[in-house]
Amino acid sequence: MLAGIVGLGLIGGSFAKAYTAAGHSVYAFDTNEQVLSYALLSGAAEGRLTDDVIPKCDIILVCTYPAAAINYIEQKGALFGSRPVVIDSCGIKREVVERGMQIAREHGFTYCGGHPMAGTQYSGFKYSRDNLFKGAPMVIVPPRRDDIALLNKIKTLLSPAGFGRISVTDAQTHDEVIAYTSQLAHVVSSAYIKSPVVRAHRGLSAGSYKDMTRVARLSPDMWTELCMANRDNLIKEIDILMHNLEDYKAALANGDSDMLKQLFDEGRRIKEEVDG
């Protein structure tokens, strides 16, 4: 298999290393020449993803921020041809998929939206690893959800990454859910870490603090772009959270132990129901 990787951050770098480790040929592109040169020197990629290589690829994974992904697909749309399946890896799907599908129709190549559900609090090629996606879910937004042949082809093309499952959805559903499961968590973590008490946490914190603050060590540029692109869904989730927090605050302010216990018990039961 010949894989083209666009963008060599944590996600793109991990894809490059996974496909290389699985014995496939990887050609890569990054706007940062130092990162690209290091990827080539380290063996994560064997060559540059130039215009003449693009139509020879079996899969092209566009692993950049949303605006840059759209820009790359627009610029190279006429070069892809019929062979590669082009899959973006952006954390939001509506605007990327809408434009990606439109360009694919114009130029006659195969495009599919994608979102690997894996990562760390760190960003950049130096933190990438070949097993980042092992056992993790991969979400795809194909042009048609009933095109079994294409879905099987995508599953085969993604197999070197080692995903645990491939989930198929539409762009609207993806963005609604991701506002809750990912973006809200990053907003809450970022807000939570801003308490003045945080300066005194050493020696007085354990797992709960670590779990709540892990993703506060985020990339401000990336998460600003992702959250702004999905702000309608994220605002809804923030409103829901603030409403729920007011219930806890009211129980505490009123000294209502029964209500607080009920709120805690509701949360426990929902957690058990949804996660087992």
pLDDT at position 227: 97
Cβ atoms of 104 and 85 closer than 8 Å: no
Give Cα 188 to chain centroid, integer Å.
Answer: 18
Q: Are residues 180 and 238 in the same domain?
A: yes
Q: Are residues 136 and 239 in the same domain?
A: no
Residue ending a domain, among 169, 186, 202, is 169
Q: Give yes or no: residues 139 and 7 share one domain.
A: yes
Query: Quick check: helix, strand or coil at residue 214?
Result: helix
Do 79 and 43 sit in the same domain of this protein?
yes
Q: What is the pLDDT of residues 58-101, one digit of tens each?
A: 999 999 999 999 999 999 999 999 999 999 999 999 999 999 99
Mean pLDDT across the chain, nearest whole number? 96
Are 148 and 177 in contact by the 8 Å Cβ rule? The answer is no
Are 145 and 192 contained in the same domain? Answer: no
pLDDT in the model for residue 125? 96
Return the pLDDT at 213.
93
Do 112 and 140 have their domain in common? yes
Q: Are residue 217 and residue 263 in the same domain, yes or no?
A: yes
**Structural domain of 104:** 2-169
Q: Total structural domains in the chain?
A: 2
**Do 178 and 259 reside in the same domain of the chain?**
yes
Question: Do 225 and 96 fall into the same domain?
Answer: no
pLDDT in tens, 5-50: 999 999 999 999 999 999 999 999 999 999 999 999 999 999 999 9
* 46-47-49 Cα angle (round to 5): 135
- pLDDT tens-digit map of 201-243: 887 788 899 999 999 999 999 999 999 999 999 999 999 999 9
Adjacent-strand bridge partners of 164: none
Last residue of a domain, one of 113, 147, 169: 169
The pLDDT score that the predictor gives to residue 122 is 83
Instruction: Give the long-range contacts of residues 150-155, CB within 8 A, separation 24 or more.
Output: 150/85, 150/110, 150/112, 153/85, 154/85, 154/87, 154/112
Q: Are residues 250 and 269 in the same domain?
A: yes
For residue 10, give both structure tokens. 């944590």
Q: What is the CATH number of the domain that holds 124?
A: 3.40.50.720
- Higher-confidence residue of 201 and 52: namely 52
The residue among 127, 145, 169 that closes a domain is 169
203 plus 237 within the same structural domain: yes
For range 163-184, the mean pLDDT: 97
**Together in a domain, 202 and 164:** no
Question: What was the pLDDT predicted at 184?
Answer: 98
pLDDT at 120: 80
Phi-psi label, residue 81: left if phi above 0, alpha if psi -120 to 50, beta otherwise = left
d(CA 149, CA 155): 10
Predicted confidence band of residue 123 (pLDDT cuts 50, 70, 90): confident
Q: Is the pLDDT of residue 115 over 80?
A: yes
Residues 177-188: tens digit of each pLDDT: 999 999 999 999
The pairing of strands 59-62 and 47-48 is unpaired
Secondary structure element (H or E) that encloses residue 261, with its range: helix 257-275
pLDDT at residue 206, as a whole number? 85
- Is residue 163 exposed (0-12), middle (13-18) or buried (19+ Cβ within 10 Å)? buried
pTM of the complete model: 0.91
CATH number of the domain where residue 230 is located: 1.10.3660.10
